Structure 1
Amino acid sequence: MITESTLLENRYFDSVFLMRVSKRLSEQPGINYAALIMGTPKNIQILADAGYDGIDGLGASSNDLVVSLKADSS
């Protein structure tokens, strides 16, 4: 399994929109889990608890979009 996260600085989106996009991405073949969140400390902690190693090192702020995926390796 591949786990990857990326940070898009100063990209604010409404949480309802992000939940909808996360759900649609998670339904795609090969994607086990998708999370699109704003980089608040609480959201970053949720991803860290879910096994996204190194997520704390992104240096996200509350106005940053964090995109995290867990996908099949093949």
Structure 2
Amino acid sequence: VLLMPSSYESWGRAGCEALASGIPVVAHPTPGRGESLGEAGVFVDRNDLDGYEAVLRKLLEDPAEYRLAAKRARA
């Protein structure tokens, strides 16, 4: 799982590379990142620590959820 909580990077090449490799991306929704990650990205406000924790727990504790996120990433 790649976390991208930065509000300064708009595009985020690392996120695109992670998706291309089938790695789920959890990111703060900056204007360019929404377009580059699209529906494959999971967006959580950078100040929502509980939101990040919930998404990470869901992905790491549920293998089926992780596989689904990885499949969306590669699509």
The TM-score normalised by the length of structure 1 is 0.31
Q: Identify which of structures 1 and 2 has the higher relative contact order when contacts are C-alpha pairs closer than 8 Å and 6+ apart.
A: 1
The structure carrying a bigger helix percent of its residues is 2
